[in-house]
Chains A and B, each alone.
Chain A
Amino acid sequence: MTITGIAAIGAGLAAIGAGVGIGKIGGSAMDAMARQPEMHGKIQSSALILAAFVEAVALFGVVVAFLQG
């Protein structure tokens, strides 16, 4: 297997991790919003910030894969 193939697999693994992470954040944010609709705005902005943190890690993976591939 070439280094490009391995880099692509790495990028895929990073995407899986980010998918699980953002999925959990989104699910929990939905739960919280359903329980307390009046907190909707605050929950949404914190969920977005947390999603950005998770996504950043996945993007580190993508950048590294892009540099190697």
Chain B
Amino acid sequence: MNTFRTVLFTTLFLALSFIGFATDKEPSKDDAPFDPKAMILHHVKDAHEFHLWDWKGSPVSLSLPIIVWTDNGLTSFSSSEFHHDDEGQTIVEANGGRFVKLHEKIYQLDSGATAVAYDAEHHPTNANKPLDFSITRNVFMMWVSVALLLFIFLTTARSYKNSKDGVPTGIAGFMEPLIIFVRDEIGKPMIGEHKYKRYMPYLLTIFFFIWINNIFGLIPILNGANLSGNIAFTFTLAVFTFIITTFSGNKNYWKHIFWMPGVPVPMKLFLMPIEIIGMFVKPISLMIRLFANITAGHVIILALMSLIFVFKSVAIAPVSVAFSLFITVIEIIVTAIQAYIFTILSALYFGMATEEEH
């Protein structure tokens, strides 16, 4: 029975995903040539709405609120007022300001301007960007994942609190091996038996947060809210790792950076700038690795699907679907591996920062 249910849900899930993929690809104008690069970039970037599918030529979407800070204070309106216009044609008036949406960026028109004027590089000349606090689809998915993680881990914690003999029940039975894995395979060997406990909350948080967002990015009906493939997201996580590493660095760590022990003085002087650069390169490589891996995965799947529309032939479809299914399965493994790599490298840096002299 259980196997049957698993198979059923897997099939439904996959069917759903390919409906989502296939209907998205259709170019809006039938005579316009299909541009795979524009389509892929549109899917990988953040957006102000969840575009679900096209129905009889008009898009069906979930609109998200736009919140901007202007001279008149906080202004908010629904992104549906733009009527899916992303070329700066539709002007929305709100709170004394006039706004257009151009390539998923909100611009405020200067007073007196009635239409957007562009310079040679297609940048608007008579509009500027206000401070944008909009609930974009990435922000929305982040909140969903935070709510889900809170639910999972509060339930887990409550299960341990209520059980008399410490035996996990329900969802805790599923989470316990994962938490133990992070502790025994990541925390203990990388940081050391005595100090790992301080860092466990952070390591567990980033591991599960990255993992769940990687998985959300693979659900195509959500239009691939590509949160962990967003460089701002990975940048923030990398900055956390950098701050924790820097503040937990002991005397030994700083000595290795500024005055490497055990090498002659010219070598010490030579190594100092390299070590200082290395301090910053480590979080930067964390940032780029997660961003590029997840984005590359999305780009490959979308590129395979756009082959059908590039060749304008149904005969390509089986090949495309088979290959993108194959890549999707690999991506499911990559979601876990990238969360693991980010966490284990963070733990490695914490371990280096707190290592005692030997």
Contacts and interface: CB of A to CB of B under 8 A. Distances in A.
- Chain A interface category by residue count: 10 to 19
A45 B344 contact: yes
B288 interface: yes
A63 B295 CA distance: 9
B285 interface: yes
Contact of A45 (B185, B288, B289, B293): B185
B61 to A, nearest CB: 27
A49 interface: yes
A48 interface: yes
A31 to B, nearest CB: 22
Interface in B343-358: 344-345, 348
Nearest to A42: B189
A55 B293 contact: yes
Interface in A34-69: 41, 45, 48-49, 52, 55-56, 59-60, 62-63, 66
Q: Is the interface of A mostly helix, strand, loop or mixed?
A: helix
A60 B292 contact: yes
B337 interface: yes
Contacts of B185: 41, 45
A60 B295 CA distance: 12
Given A45-B185, A45-B344, A49-B344, A59 B293 contact: yes
| Size band of the interface chain B makes with A | 10 to 19
A19 B132 CA distance: 42
B113 interface: no
Contact of B288 (A48, A49, A56): A56
B291 to A, nearest CB: 8
Nearest to A52: B341
A48 B293 CA distance: 14
B74 interface: no
A53 B63 CA distance: 40
Contacts of A45: 185, 344
B229 to A, nearest CB: 11
Contact of B296 (A41, A48, A49, A62): A62
A59 B340 contact: no
Contact of A62 (B292, B341, B344): B292
B289 A59 contact: yes
A48 B337 CA distance: 8
B285 A56 contact: yes
B288 A60 contact: yes
A48 B340 contact: yes
Interface string B261-300: 0000000000000000000000001001100110110010
A4 to B, nearest CB: 9
Nearest to A57: B285
Interface string A7-45: 000000000000000000000000000000000010001
Interface of A: 41, 45, 48-49, 52, 55-56, 59-60, 62-63, 66
Interface of B: 185, 285, 288-289, 292-293, 295-296, 299, 337, 340-341, 344-345, 348
Closest 5 CB pairs of A and B: A59-B292, A56-B289, A52-B341, A63-B292, A56-B285
